[in-house]
Amino acid sequence: MIIGVGIDVVSIDRFQAKKSDEFIKKLLTEHEQNKYKTVIGESNQNIFLAIRW
């Protein structure tokens, strides 16, 4: 049963500042890490991380 739906608002700059291999491994599954490696452009990579946060 779904009690409620929420939306999280995050600053993309926050992910740019924290982006490291260790942070990515902690945040993403192995499958998501492989998809992340194919994302072109730093801005798109930051958005990819924020969506999965």
Instruction: Please measure the distance between the N-terminal and C-terminal CA atoms of the chain and give it in whole angstroms.
Output: 23
Please tell me the pTM assigned to this model: 0.72
- The residue behind tokens 């600053």 is 11
Q: Which amino acid is at 35?
A: K
Residues in the chain: 53
Q: Give the mean pLDDT per block of 10 residues along the chain (53 residues).
A: 77 80 92 95 90 83
Domain layout of the chain by residue ranges: 12-52
The CA distance from 8 to 49, in Å, is 13
For 33, residues 6+ apart whose C-beta sits below 8 A from its C-beta are 24, 25
